[in-house]
Amino acid sequence: MSDILSVRGLKKYFNTPHGMLHAVDGLSLDIEEGSTLGMVGESGCGKTTAGRAILRLAEPSAGTITFDGEDVLAKTGKDLRKLREKMQIIFQDPYSSLNPRMSISRLIAEPLIIHRRYARKADLENRVKELMDTVELTMRLYNSYPHELDGGRRQRIGIARALALDPKFIVCDEPVSALDVSVQAQILNLMQDLQERLSLTYLFVTHDMSVVRHISDKIVVMYLGQVVEKAPSDVLFEEQLHPYTKALIAAIPSPMPGSMEKPKILKGELKSPIEPKPGCRFAPRCVHARKVCTEADPDLRELRPGRFVACCRAEEIL
């Protein structure tokens, strides 16, 4: 399969009173059609901003985005709105992402109305019912309002809305992190079913390592706006090439108390993304850091087939 989305050198800077905030700093990634790319990293590492920049909900500062052979950044006005039919997003918070004054049916119908998909009202209603059925929402809720529903059902509305225009690609911005664990599983399974049935491509943004392992084909690990490691999902959980990834995996809570000696890799806290110093962003927190780490930005290089890492000392510290 070919890549449906290619991002090269994507940057998103924000102007703050204290200087330029490098939220996303030279992100490059490719997603194969019909696959799921997991994007993980701790809070504030720029993963959400990256997702939004790809959809141009936040205007990128630099870089190129190619979607389905089209240059996303060259689109304006009508063309951009047309493109949005093919690229959708599912939001993290199912409470604030639904307009409180719209009924469930209206929320799901809204994208169809915007793009004038149906001339007849009956056709529109049928499509909305079909979508509600697709995401397993009961018809009883057709005229309900979001505040009457629980988080799981609300997130199903968010999914139905994203699917309404038959998109090819969906950015999932932590779609389950606001939900109970039992509901998380339902929503994740639903999303996987939908991916198979509708041959969707996902960019799955999350900070939850077990979720990302469950759903992703490949994973990119982000740290302060940059990709530090990229590998197929199963391989990444077997062996990590970057010390930061090691720390992330080691931080997954274990069901057996004391069963694992946790290696000490991290020190200190997340550094500020405002005007970062050159060199490896992770170096100030890395126990393996040497002088060479702070001299220049490490490139993402293919250390093993299909496995990329941005660490100067990856070979030595393995």
Partner 1 sequence: MEQKYKGEFAEFWKRYRRNRLAVVGLALIGLYVILALGADLLYSYDFITGNQIPNAFSGIASFAEVEDGGTVRRHLYLLGADNFGRDVAGRIIHGARVSLIIGFVTVAFAVVIGGSLGAVAGYYGRRLETVIMRGADILLAIPNILFALAIVAALGPSFRNLLLAIGITSLPVYVRLVRASVMTVKDQEYVEAARAQGASDFRIILIHIIPNCMAPVIVQATLGIAQSILSAASLSFLGLGIQPPSPEWGNMLSEARSYIISAPHTLIFPGLAIMTVILAYNLIGDGLRDALDPKLKR
Task: Compare residues 130 and 299 and give the one whose CB is closer to partner 1.
Answer: 130
Least separation in angstroms between CB 145 and partner 1: 4
Alpha-carbon distance of 9 to 252, in angstroms, equals: 30
Least separation in angstroms between CB 32 and partner 1: 23
Alpha-carbon distance of 84 to 254, in angstroms, equals: 41
Interaction between residue 14 and partner 1 (CB under 8 A):
no
Task: Compare residues 28 and 144 and give the one whose CB is closer to partner 1.
Answer: 144
Task: Compare residues 58 and 317 and give the one whose CB is closer to partner 1.
Answer: 58
Least separation in angstroms between CB 68 and partner 1: 16
Closest-CA residue to 159 (of 217, 89, 93): 89
Least separation in angstroms between CB 69 and partner 1: 19
Alpha-carbon distance of 176 to 197, in angstroms, equals: 20
Site for partner 1 in 147-166 (CB under 8 A): 147, 158, 161, 165
Closest-CA residue to 21 (of 274, 231, 190, 241): 274
Task: Compare residues 80 and 251 and give the one whose CB is closer to partner 1.
Answer: 80
Containing 132, the helix (H) or strand (E) segment is: helix 121-134
Q: Select from 19-27, 89-97, 190-198, 243-251 the region that touches partner 1 (CB under 8 A).
A: 89-97
Interaction between residue 110 and partner 1 (CB under 8 A):
yes
Alpha-carbon distance of 314 to 303, in angstroms, equals: 8
Interaction between residue 18 and partner 1 (CB under 8 A):
no
| β-strand pairing of 169-173 with 218-223 | unpaired
* 3-class SS of residue 301: strand
- Cβ burial, residue 75 (10 Å; 0-12/13-18/19+): middle
Alpha-carbon distance of 176 to 155, in angstroms, equals: 8
Interaction between residue 203 and partner 1 (CB under 8 A):
no
Contact residue for partner 1 among 35, 36, 48, 88 (CB under 8 A):
88
Least separation in angstroms between CB 244 and partner 1: 29
Contact residue for partner 1 among 74, 114, 296, 318 (CB under 8 A):
114
Q: At what angle do helices 181-198 and 151-163 cross, to 10 degrees?
A: 20
Chain residues that interact with partner 1, rule: CB under 8 A:
52, 55, 57, 80-82, 84-85, 88-89, 91, 93, 96-101, 103, 110-111, 114-115, 121, 145, 147, 158, 161, 165
